[in-house]
Structure 1
Amino acid sequence: MTGYWGLHIAIYGIEGNAGTLAGERLTHTPNPEHPHGMHGTAATASTAEAAYRAAMDRMHDPMMQGIANADPDTAFVLGMIPHHQGAVDMAEIVLKFGKDTRNQHFAREIINTQRREIGEMREWLKQKNIPQP
């Protein structure tokens, strides 16, 4: 199989093993002389990368739907809400997996600011009687 479904089966297996973390799926036959299970930096990076990809996947469709609105002001707000939520999600991921204290500071600032702005944009939509995303 090729394309999306072929890749999907290659990654998740024929049973659709979606509950398995990306780092727990092997890309080749294990070699006892060169073990590389779920430990160390590579495992953390894989798990963080999977979390970042999932966050971006959740953000993309709602953001694109929002910017398709005919009114530029409404499109801006409807696109920015999921965009801001994506930033919050990414910041939470770096707080979970990252080690750099400066990045953790940035992440906390982003979470606070983006959540406040999401609330303000939701209020703007409410005042305009525009359905919430």
Structure 2
Amino acid sequence: MTTTLTLLAAALLTTGLAGAATAQSAHSHGNHMAKPGSTSMGDMQADMQKMMADVMPKPGDAPSTKDFKDADMAMMHNMHVAYTGNADVDFRTHMIPHHQGAIDMAKVALKHAKDPATKQMAQKIIDDQEKEIAEMQAWLKQHGK
């Protein structure tokens, strides 16, 4: 499993995961980028390597941490979608895996969280994000994308 994740991490780094990291930073769901507006390739590569190291499984990770890391890795992989130059299409095709990542993380919270408010929030996220994904997919289908 670790070898598979290591290979996936290397593949993600070489296939341009910068868009996913930027999307994460832009949504304030994590502070993976060193500083806003940092555009040097060296800074971005160092930030990406740190981000990938953070999501790699480690001995002693709690079961919830392992599940969150798996969800993060899947989301980052799935956010690697080609850009079309059409902002309407690109917004939806990149937000769908982002929303799916939120759903996957919320499912981890439902599985592992103890606090009822956390579970309630997780269920609300699942409900809201599934609805929005369906709306985005319907728009894409309606517009032949």
TM-score where L is the length of structure 2: 0.57
1:104 aligns with 2:102: no
Aligned to 1:70, the other structure's residue is in SS state: coil
Aligned length: 93
- Residue 64 (structure 1) aligns with: 80
Gaps of 5+ in 2: 7-56
Gaps of 5+ in 1: 9-21, 28-42
Alpha-carbon distance in 1 for matches of 2:113, 2:137: 30
- Residue 93 (structure 2) aligns with: 78
Q: Can you list the C-alpha shifts for 1:25-58, whole angstroms capped at 9, x where unaligned? A: xx5xxxxxxxxxxxxxxx7x61111111111111
Aligned to 1:65, the other structure's residue is in SS state: coil
Task: Answer with 117-126 or 54-63: which moved more.
Answer: 54-63
Q: Give the CA deviation at 1:64.
A: 3.2
Q: Give the CA deviation at 1:109.
A: 0.5
One-letter amino acid of the counterpart of residue 65, structure 1: V
Alpha-carbon distance in 1 for matches of 2:85, 2:69: 29
TM-score where L is the length of structure 1: 0.62
Alpha-carbon distance in 2 for matches of 1:83, 1:64: 10
One-letter amino acid of the counterpart of residue 61, structure 1: H
Alpha-carbon distance in 1 for matches of 2:115, 2:75: 25
Alpha-carbon distance in 2 for matches of 1:97, 1:69: 38
Alpha-carbon distance in 1 for matches of 2:133, 2:62: 29
Bigger Rg, structure 1 or 2: 1
Percentage identity across aligned positions? 35
Aligned to 1:123, the other structure's residue is in SS state: helix
